[in-house]
Amino acid sequence: MCADSRKKLRIRKGITSLIIAIEGTVPEKVLPSGLDAPESTGIRVSLKYSTMTSTSRRRFLIAPLLGIPTAAYARLVEPTWLERTERSCLIPGLRKPVRLAHLSDLHASHDVPVSLIEDAVQMAIDFRPDLICITGDFVTDATGFDLNWYSAVLSRLSGRAPSFAVLGNHDGGLWSAPRGGFSTTGKVAGFIERSGVNLLVNRSMRIACNGAGLQIVGMSDLWSGELDAERAFREVDSESPALLLAHNPDSKTLAESYNWRLMLSGHTHGGQVVAPVLGFSPAPVLDRRYVRGLKPWRDRWIHVSCGVGNIGGVRFNCRPEVTLLHLLPGADRRIPALTSL
């Protein structure tokens, strides 16, 4: 396919995503590759999950008044309009506060400019984090990025703070191979490891972070068929709190019986294209309570990042984000407010 045809296809996919969100239907065959929803995934109206800051709402409302058509806004403005978000949660067993920078779904590709990924990395560094976590989908497919460039960009993170990562469904293997991606995870794992970021493939590491002992557990991607929770948690104990990194938030049920306090995920892109007010979005997850933001699950927390990059070159009502999570020492018991779900 020539460059012109590829560009037209990307624009068509982007506009299709927008139409899907506005009309509130998700015919699987017209979804951009990578956002194909599981068969049992339905659209559910969710006012609770539709969030806009006052600044973003202003810009969102002003754009049409300035004569910028909605499709152009979704294509040209929002995909690179990076947002800094900040949230906090109590972590039982934690001895000191920890500043954690969470990035996800960088999606280096023809649709995502190099500058957006570099800006996101700088934003994470500017947080002055004690710990950095990246939850998968470093690439979209096997094209549109340079391995050495990627390694150099990520090394800026590992040079600032201990950095950990897991892979997503786009990063190679069973799911990505028939969709233009790598047949194995070797290439992506290679540039991550060369950057000094610790890649967790169904394993855990123990660290001392700002004087606080932490265990970082990483599970492989759910859709890749390589997730092995038993292996990932084999060396985890109850001496210090455990943070779980898993690309797809639906992975939580496979890790339910293990010891962790906070799960970091991505995959959904926050919906990527979200209908205003009603909150329709084509997020490819079964449990649609966990599409974006920090939410309780049983006696634990789950943080789902809206991600940095995108599929198809569009975003609407769902800006790319880099999050600073404040992990705070909490009581060593179940938190009543977290038992409602």
Which residues here bind Fe ion, judged by CB under 5 A? 105, 137
299 Cβ neighbours under 8 A, 6+ residues apart: 334, 335, 338, 339
- CB 168, min distance to Fe ion, A: 6
Which residue, 203, 206, 210, is CA-closest to 227?
203
User: Using an 8 Å Cβ cutoff, are 273 and 20 in contact?
Assistant: yes
Classify the phi-psi angles of 270: left when phi > 0, otherwise alpha if psi is within -120 to 50, otherwise beta: left
Closer by beta carbon to Fe ion, 130 or else 171: 171
Nearer to Fe ion, 21 or 89 (CB): 21
The DSSP output letter for 120 is: H
Q: In angstroms, give the least distance from the CB of 214 to Fe ion.
A: 26
Complex with Fe ion: residue 137 or 141, whichever CB lies closer? 137
Q: Which candidate, 23, 9, 7, places its Cα nearest to that of 282?
A: 23
Q: Residue 285 CB, nearest distance to Fe ion (Å)?
A: 11
Position with the least CB separation from Fe ion: 137
Residue 34 C-beta: closest distance to Fe ion, Å = 6
Query: How many other C-beta atoms can be found within 10 angstroms of the C-beta atom of residue 66?
Result: 7
- Secondary structure letter of residue 37 according to DSSP: P
Complex with Fe ion: residue 78 or 105, whichever CB lies closer: 105
With left for phi above 0 and alpha for psi between -120 and 50, is residue 225 left, alpha or beta? Answer: left
Name which of 130 and 137 has its Cβ closer to Fe ion.
Answer: 137
At its nearest, how many Å lie between Fe ion and the CB of residue 33?
11
Taking the least distance from each CB to Fe ion, the nearer of 185 and 215 is: 185
H helix intervals, the chain: 3-23, 54-65, 70-72, 114-126, 147-158, 186-194, 229-232
Distance in angstroms (rounded) separating the CA atoms of residues 156 and 139: 18
Beta bridge partners of residue 89, listed in sequence order = 327
Shortest Cβ 217–Fe ion spacing (Å): 21
Nearest approach, Cβ of residue 245 and Fe ion (Å): 15
> Smaller CB distance to Fe ion: residue 175 or 260?
175
User: CA-CA distance, 86 to 239, in Å (whole number)?
Assistant: 28
